[in-house]
Amino acid sequence: MHLIIAEKHIAAKRIASILSSGKPENKRINGIDIYRFDNGEETVIMGLSGHIVQLDFPRAYNNWQEVDASELVNADIITTPTHTRIVGALKKLGREASKVTIATDYDREGELIGVEALEIVKEVNPDIEYDRVVYSAITKSSIEEAFANPIKIDFNLADAGHSRQVIDLVWGAALTRYLSLAAMRLGKSFLSVGRVQSPTLALIVDREKERDAFVAQPYWEIYATITKDGELFTIKHSTARFWDKDEADAAYGKIGSKAVVTLIETGFKKDKPPTPFNTTEFIRAANSIGFTPAKAMRIAESLYTNGFISYPRTDNTVYPKSIDLRAQIEMFSKGSFGKYAQKLLSKKDLTPTRGKKETTDHPPIYPTSVASKSKLGEDEWKVYELVVRRFFATFAGPAVWETIKARFDINGEEFRANGARLVEEGWRWYYHYNAPEERLLPQLTEGETLPISGKEMLDKETMPPGRYGQGRLIKIMEDLGLGTKATRHEIISKLYSRSYVHGNPLQPTQTAYAVIEALEKYAPTITKPDMTSKLEEDMDRIAEGTVSEEEVLLESRAMLSSVFEELKKNQENISKALREGLRKDKIIGKCPECGSELMIRRSKRGSRFIGCNGYPDCTFSLPLPKSGNILVTDKKCEKHGIYHIKVNTGKRRAWDLGCAYCNYLEWKATLKEENKADDKPKRITDIPGIGKVTAEKLNSAGISTVEDLGKEDPREIAKSTNLPVGKIIKWQETVT
C-alpha cells in the first residue's frame, strides 16, 4: 500500500480527487478521514493538521517559582504529540504501507511537518521506502507532474525548521519567565518576550518615542485662486513653506488682482508596471485594501488549498520558465476578467516584469485556475481579484502621464502649479488599486495675464513621524531580517493578542513601553535586530547544508546565556523599571470627586474595577468588563478628563469601550428607564386611585387603556367625567 501524507485535510482531499481520476473512497481511521483508491496500486491519502507534535521542556521545568529562568537555556527538549488521533491513524496506516510519499508544502515548515510524520511511521515500520513530491499549486497538471517526478526529502531544510522551533521555544520561554517574574506579572497577564517579537516591538516603541519627543514647528503656505475662461484653479507660492511669519505676511501682501504666466513646460512620465507578488508585497497590497496581514494570509492559504492561486509563502518575484504564462492568461478569456485577458493576448510580446528576488522553491503568487464570484466569499473574492489583477499588470505596458509645469508672477512673487493627466492607462487599467488622481490645469499660454479671484494664507505645523501600519512594518521586518515570510504576520498578531499594541497604524501600550525601555536600558541585545538576523542567516545555512543544526543551537544558547548575564547584573533595576512602567498602564486619569489618581484595580475576589487612590476617604469607582485585557489609550474624554479604554479579548479587534465614566452613566440611565418601564401600570385599574367605578367613567369618555389616558388633555377628560383635574394629572404622571 502506498501512503501519501498531505499537510492538511483539504489538500489531501483535492490531491486524492486528482490522482484517482474519479471519486476516491472516503473512510475513517481512528476518527480521521482518509481517501483510498486503486490505480494499479492501492493508495491511501491522509491529511495532517499542520504540526502533529510539539516541542516542550520536561515537566520538571514547569514551576516558574522553583526553576530559575536561566536553567531553561540548556534544558533538554522533548517532543510530545498534539493530535493523538492523527498520530494513531499514521501508525496504523504506516504498519500496512510499503511506501510513503510526503506531499506537505515545500518550505521549512512543510518539510519539518513531513519529516515529523515520517518519523512516526518509521517507529512502526523502520525500513519503509519514502520519497517526497514538490508542487506550487494544487491543480491537476501541477499535482500529476509532481507525482510523476518525486524527489528526495530535504532533511537539511527540515533541520532548519526544527532549529527555529527550538530557538524560539528556548528564547521565548526563558525570557518570558524571567521578565514576568521580575514584574510580578504571572498567570494570564505574563509578559511575553521573543527573539523576533521583542525587536519588532522595539521598532514600534522607538517610533512612538520619536513622536513623543517631536516638537512641532509653525509654518505658513500661501495660495492664490486664478480664473481662466470661467474656470477656477489654485496656484501655490514657490516657497512651499514660510518659516518666518513676517516674510509670509510680506509675500501675502503683494498679491494683487493679476497673475502673469511666465513659464509652461509639458512632458511625459512613464509609470512602470509592478513586479510579481512575493509574500511581503502581497501582504502590503492586501493591507492597503483593508486586510490585516494575518487575515490576508489565511484567505490566501484557503485559495491555495482550493486550487485557485499558487503557494502564498514565497520570496520569489520572477516567474519561472516552467510556467506557460500565455496559457495562464488564456484561462481567463471568458468570465469576469475576459476583457482584460483578451487585451493582453492581443499583444505580440508577453514578457512579464521581473523583481529583484529570484528563488527556485516556489514561483511568485499567481492565479492557477478560474474562480467565480458566486462560489467565493466576499473577502475571498477580493483577495483572488487582487492576485489576478496583479498577475495581469505584470504583462502590461507602462502607464503614461502628461505632465505640465506652470509658473506665475504676481508682483514679483513666483507661484507655481503642476498638472498631470493620464494619457495611456497601461498596467493601471488592469490593476486599479491606489491609483494617483489626475491634476488637470486649463489651457495656459506664456505671457498671458489672468485675474486673481482670491487668496489664502494657511497657518500650519510640522507633523510628527507617522506610526507604522501593518503592511509597512512587514516590509521593515523583512529589510532587517526579522522573522520570515511565513512568520512575520504571526508576530504582529501576537503583539495585538498580548496587548502590546492596538489600532492600525500600531500604537504601543504603556506595557510595551515598560518592557522595551527596561530591556533597551539593561539588556539591549534582545531589542536589536542584529542577533535575530544572525540566527536567521544561520538557519539559512542549515538549509543549505553548510552548517549543522547542532552548531547553530549551541551558538544560540551561548547568545542567550550572555543575555542572561546582562539581565542578572541588573535584576533589581529591571524589576523596579518594569513595575514603575506597568503602573502607568493602569492609570485612567483623575478622580472627578477628589482629584486623586484613578487606577485599574482588583477586588479581593478577583474582579476588576476602576478605583480611586484616595480610598478609603474617597469611594468613587467604576465597573469594568469581566474578561479581556484592558488597554488604556491616549484619547481623553472631553467631559470627564479620563482616558478612553479598549478591551482586548484576543479573538477579534479590541472592543472600544470609550470613557468608562460615560459608559457607566449611560448604563445607569438605561437601567433606570428599563426599571421605570417595568413599574408602569399595564391596565387602567393598576393606577392607584382608579377603581372599577372610576374606570367605567373613563371608559364612557373613550379612555379604556393606559395609553389613552396618557395622551389626552386632562381638562377635557375632567369635563367628560366630572373627575378632578388634579387627580387626572397625577394619574397621567404615573404612566408617562
DSSP states of 635-667 as a string? EE-TTT--EEEEEE-SSSSPEEEE-HHHHHHHH
H helix intervals, 68-190: 84-96, 108-124, 140-148, 155-183
Bridge-based pairing of strands 129-132 and 99-103 is parallel
| Mean pLDDT across 697-717 | 82
Last residue of a domain, one of 564, 579, 594: 579
Closest CA to 100 of 2, 18, 25, 189: 2
- List Cα–Cα distances, 185 to 194, 500, 529, 587, 650, in angstroms: 16, 14, 26, 17, 18
**Higher-confidence position of 666 and 299:** 299
pLDDT, tens only, 81-137: 999 999 999 999 999 999 999 999 999 999 999 999 999 999 999 999 999 999 999
pLDDT band at 278 (very low <50, low <70, confident <90, very high): very high
> Is it the case that residue 649 has pLDDT exceeding 80?
no
Same domain, 604 and 702: no
Same domain, 523 and 490: yes
For residue 351, the domain's CATH number is: 1.10.290.10
At residue 249, what is the residue type?
D
pLDDT, tens only, 357-416: 988 889 999 999 999 999 999 999 999 999 999 999 999 999 999 999 999 999 999 999
pLDDT, tens only, 292-302: 999 999 999 99
311 is catalytic: yes
The answer to whether residue 485 is domain-embedded is: yes
3-state SS of 396-416 is CCCEEEEEEEEEEEECCEEEE
Which residues constitute the domain of residue 102? Answer: 2-48+83-153
Residue percentage of the chain with pLDDT more than 90? 67
Same domain, 117 and 179: no
> Is it the case that residue 310 has pLDDT exceeding 70?
yes
Same domain, 553 and 601: no
Same domain, 24 and 102: yes
> Is it the case that residue 654 has pLDDT exceeding 80?
no
The answer to whether residue 564 is domain-embedded is: yes
C-alpha–C-alpha distance, residues 677 and 529, integer Å: 61
> Is it the case that residue 484 has pLDDT exceeding 80?
yes
pLDDT at 679 (0 to 100): 65
For residue 562, the domain's CATH number is: 1.10.460.10
Rg (CA), the chain: 35
pLDDT at 21 (0 to 100): 77
Spatial contact of 420 and 401, defined as CB atoms under 8 Å apart: yes
The answer to whether residue 501 is domain-embedded is: yes
**Higher-confidence position of 464 and 672:** 464
Beginning with the edge strand found earlier in the chain, give each strand of the sheet holding 643-648 in spatial order: 629-636, 643-648, 655-658
**Residue 29 belongs to what H/E stretch?**
strand 25-29
| Mean pLDDT across 336-365 | 92
pLDDT at 728 (0 to 100): 83
Same domain, 6 and 145: yes
H helix intervals, 184-334: 197-213, 245-253, 279-288, 293-305, 325-330
Same domain, 253 and 233: yes
Same domain, 285 and 377: yes
For residue 454, the domain's CATH number is: 2.70.20.10
C-alpha–C-alpha distance, residues 336 and 389, integer Å: 11
> Is it the case that residue 550 has pLDDT exceeding 90?
yes
C-alpha–C-alpha distance, residues 552 and 195, integer Å: 15
**How many domains in the chain?**
6
> Is it the case that residue 491 has pLDDT exceeding 70?
yes
pLDDT at 82 (0 to 100): 93
Q: Within 10 A of 524 (CB to CB), how many other CB atoms are there?
A: 12
The answer to whether residue 356 is domain-embedded is: yes
661 CB contacts (<8 Å, ≥6 apart)? 592, 622, 637, 640, 642
Cell of 328: 495562464
The answer to whether residue 504 is domain-embedded is: yes
42 CB contacts (<8 Å, ≥6 apart)? 1, 2, 36
Same domain, 179 and 143: no
pLDDT, tens only, 551-603: 999 999 999 999 999 888 888 888 988 888 888 888 899 998 888 999 988 87
pLDDT at 656 (0 to 100): 83
Same domain, 456 and 487: no
> Is it the case that residue 277 has pLDDT exceeding 70?
yes
Q: Is 532 helix (H, G, I), strand (E, B) or coil?
A: helix
Task: Find the range with the poorest average confidence among 167-171, 197-201, 695-699.
Answer: 695-699
Last residue of a domain, one of 539, 561, 579: 579
Cell of 498: 498580548
> Is it the case that residue 435 has pLDDT exceeding 80?
yes
pLDDT, tens only, 246-269: 999 999 999 999 999 999 999 999
Closest CA to 392 of 426, 355, 418, 363: 426
* DSSP class of 276: P
> Is it the case that residue 155 has pLDDT exceeding 80?
yes
Same domain, 404 and 495: no
Spatial contact of 171 and 132, defined as CB atoms under 8 Å apart: no
The answer to whether residue 488 is domain-embedded is: yes
This prediction's pTM: 0.84
Same domain, 264 and 287: no
Length of the chain: 736
SS3 content of the chain, % helix, strand, coil (to 5): 45, 20, 35
**Which residues on neighbouring strands pair with residue 32, listed in sequence order?**
29
Residue 430 phi/psi, 5-degree rounding, is -85, -35
| Mean pLDDT across 200-218 | 96
For residue 706, the domain's CATH number is: 1.10.150.20
C-alpha–C-alpha distance, residues 665 and 70, integer Å: 49
The answer to whether residue 468 is domain-embedded is: no
Spatial contact of 132 and 152, defined as CB atoms under 8 Å apart: yes
Q: Pick the catalytic residue: 106, 311, 384, 643?
A: 311
CA angle 319, 324, 328 (to 5 degrees): 90
610 CB contacts (<8 Å, ≥6 apart)? 588, 598, 599, 600, 601, 621, 622, 623, 624, 660
**Which residues on neighbouring strands pair with residue 410, listed in sequence order?**
413
pLDDT band at 548 (very low <50, low <70, confident <90, very high): very high
> Is it the case that residue 304 has pLDDT exceeding 80?
yes
Spatial contact of 135 and 66, defined as CB atoms under 8 Å apart: no
pLDDT, tens only, 180-198: 998 887 777 788 899 999 9
In whole numbers, what is the pLDDT of the chain averaged over residues? 91
The answer to whether residue 424 is domain-embedded is: yes
Last residue of a domain, one of 579, 611, 626: 579
